[in-house]
């Protein structure tokens, strides 16, 4: 039985009803990984024995009495992948960087702890752009992941491994992280569903930091119901992360089927500029018509500060990256490359440990934070960030949701943008402003252009993930099932 074609929700119900065991499901996915991983390159580390042991334990406890010890059984016995910047105890966690190539986690991140308490089976670490810096997965020091729809193309980044693993049927659901679009862009490029929750909705304890005021842990799957189930598990206040919000987490799954008649959706005119591929605009227009048919009301809105989003984002994120990555020096963290003298050790460890893109962002970050430039760049960017946030809040006082494209293009060929970082950065033009505002957003597959998937982005008000799942789910029912590549 090709269990890898089923959604996480379907598998969870089959395991609970004892139609199949967690061990059978886990073996099926591990076999799928063995058969396609050489082509896809979605994983940096696979925990075969550990996963099977976990699955057997779940099967032993798969009864009414046994399940009582688990917090939430929405993904009970279902295999899950973790992005390689999320720490798990006893597992190699490298953030796809040479500087952490031998780092083994000494504790579980809060999201990992919650998944274990829910009876999910952790099968491995997903490949990524080094320290989550990139939009193509070509910045991984391990290997470059491929897009299952066309192996010569990128799966997007930085959560490209998580997206590729789900699209290739190597895992039904995977955790990713999103600092400027790193879940939504690969979701769009691989035909998967990806959620970036509200800043503070999910604990970042145990996440290797890139931009601390922007980073959020989210997930990728094949359906919005799958995302609703995993978000139900990982969301909520955590005393280990003071930036988490003590806001009640609604029952996402029970709200999926709500009627969306009368829902107001805004289309920001700035997101439909000439930079957007005409074929992608057609897919977005078709989605709008589908939502109108479901009873939603659509109107044009304006987010004028969008034009400053990319430059503002790269100043703030690079400044935070330079600060966060200063700890990887060969003394406190990271592989030590020299013992000749302290200066030599710092220089060699960081030069050989970090890849080109990470070095580029560290240099930009140190520049904008340096004396004489701080006011001109970082301080100014922080002020513009507030204006961008205010833009969204003004529009979201008039409408319930905002709908935009996710990426200005479909998946591009490997190597196409590697030598042009500015062109690569512009791929995030529709996603970065949401991180700066701290809002939740979801990417949902909406159609195809030349055989390649295209996603649409739904942006909600703070802590309204329930509404995103609801609208995404109603749209998915109208859109119909997606047939993923066989490989």
Active-site residue list? 83, 158, 182
CA 122/CA 78 separation, integer angstroms:
8
- Using CB atoms within 10 Å of the CB of residue 432, give its burial: 0 to 12 exposed, 13 to 18 middle, 19+ buried: buried
DSSP one-letter string for 171-210: -SEEEEEESSSTTHHHHHHHT-EEEEPPTTSB--TTBPPS
CA distance 156 to 159: 7
Q: How far is CA 181 from the centre of its chain?
A: 7
Residue that is written with structure tokens 């032993």 in the block: 60
Give the bridge partners for 228, in sequence order. Answer: none
Question: Cα–Cα distance between 146 and 143 in angstroms, integer?
Answer: 10
Which alpha helices (H) appear in 94-199, and where do they start and end? 110-117, 160-167, 184-190
Angle, alpha carbons 234-199-290 (nearest 5°): 85
Degrees to nearest 5, angle at CA 172 with 169 and 178: 105
Q: What is the rounded CA–CA span in Å between residue 15 and residue 133?
A: 37
């Amino acid at each position: 039985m090709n269990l890898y074609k089923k959604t996480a929700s379907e598998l969870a119900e089959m395991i609970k009803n004892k139609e199949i065991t967690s061990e059978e499901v886990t073996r099926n996915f591990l076999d799928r990984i063995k058969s396609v991983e050489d082509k896809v390159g979605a994983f940096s580390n696979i925990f075969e024995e550990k996963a099977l042991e976990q699955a057997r334990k779940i099967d032993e406890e798969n009864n009414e009495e046994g399940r009582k010890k688990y917090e939430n059984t929405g993904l009970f016995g279902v295999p899950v992948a973790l992005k390689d910047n999320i720490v798990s105890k006893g597992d190699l966690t490298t953030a796809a960087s040479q500087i952490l190539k031998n780092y083994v986690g000494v504790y579980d991140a809060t999201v990992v702890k919650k998944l274990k308490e829910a009876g999910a089976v952790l099968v491995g670490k997903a490949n990524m752009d080094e320290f989550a810096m990139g939009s193509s997965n070509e910045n991984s020091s391990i290997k470059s992941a491929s897009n299952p729809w066309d192996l010569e193309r990128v799966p997007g980044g930085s959560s490209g491994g998580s997206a590729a693993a789900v699209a290739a049927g190597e895992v039904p659901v995977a955790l990713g992280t999103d600092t400027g679009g790193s879940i939504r862009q690969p979701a769009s490029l691989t035909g998967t569903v990806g959620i970036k929750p509200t800043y503070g909705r999910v604990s970042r304890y145990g996440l290797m930091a890139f931009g601390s005021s922007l980073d959020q842990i989210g997930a990728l799957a094949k359906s919005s119901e799958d995302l609703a189930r995993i978000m139900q598990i990982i969301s909520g206040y955590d005393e280990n992360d003071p930036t988490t919000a003590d806001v009640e987490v609604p029952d996402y799954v029970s709200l999926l089927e709500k009627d969306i008649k009368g829902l107001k959706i805004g289309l920001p005119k700035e997101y439909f500029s000439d930079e957007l591929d005409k074929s992608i605009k057609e897919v977005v227009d078709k989605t709008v018509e589908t939502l109108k048919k479901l009873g939603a009301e659509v109107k044009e809105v304006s987010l004028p500060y969008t034009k400053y989003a990319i430059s503002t984002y790269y100043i703030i994120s690079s400044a935070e990256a330079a600060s966060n990555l200063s700890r990887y020096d060969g003394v406190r963290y990271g592989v030590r490359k020299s013992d000749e003298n302290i200066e030599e050790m710092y220089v060699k460890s960081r030069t050989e440990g970090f890849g080109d893109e990470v070095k580029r962002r560290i240099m930009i970050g140190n520049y904008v934070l340096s004396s004489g430039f701080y006011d001109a760049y970082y301080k100014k960017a922080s002020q513009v960030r507030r204006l961008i946030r205010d833009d969204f809040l003004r529009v979201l006082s008039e409408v319930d949701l905002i709908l935009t494209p996710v990426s200005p293009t479909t998946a591009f060929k490997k190597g196409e943008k590697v030598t042009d970082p500015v062109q690569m950065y512009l791929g995030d033009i529709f996603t970065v402003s949401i991180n700066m505002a701290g809002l939740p957003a979801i990417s949902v597959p909406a159609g195809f252009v030349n055989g390649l998937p295209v996603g649409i982005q739904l942006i909600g008000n703070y802590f309204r993930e329930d509404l995103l799942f609801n609208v995404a789910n109603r749209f998915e029912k109208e859109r119909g099932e997606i047939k993923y590549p066989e490989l």
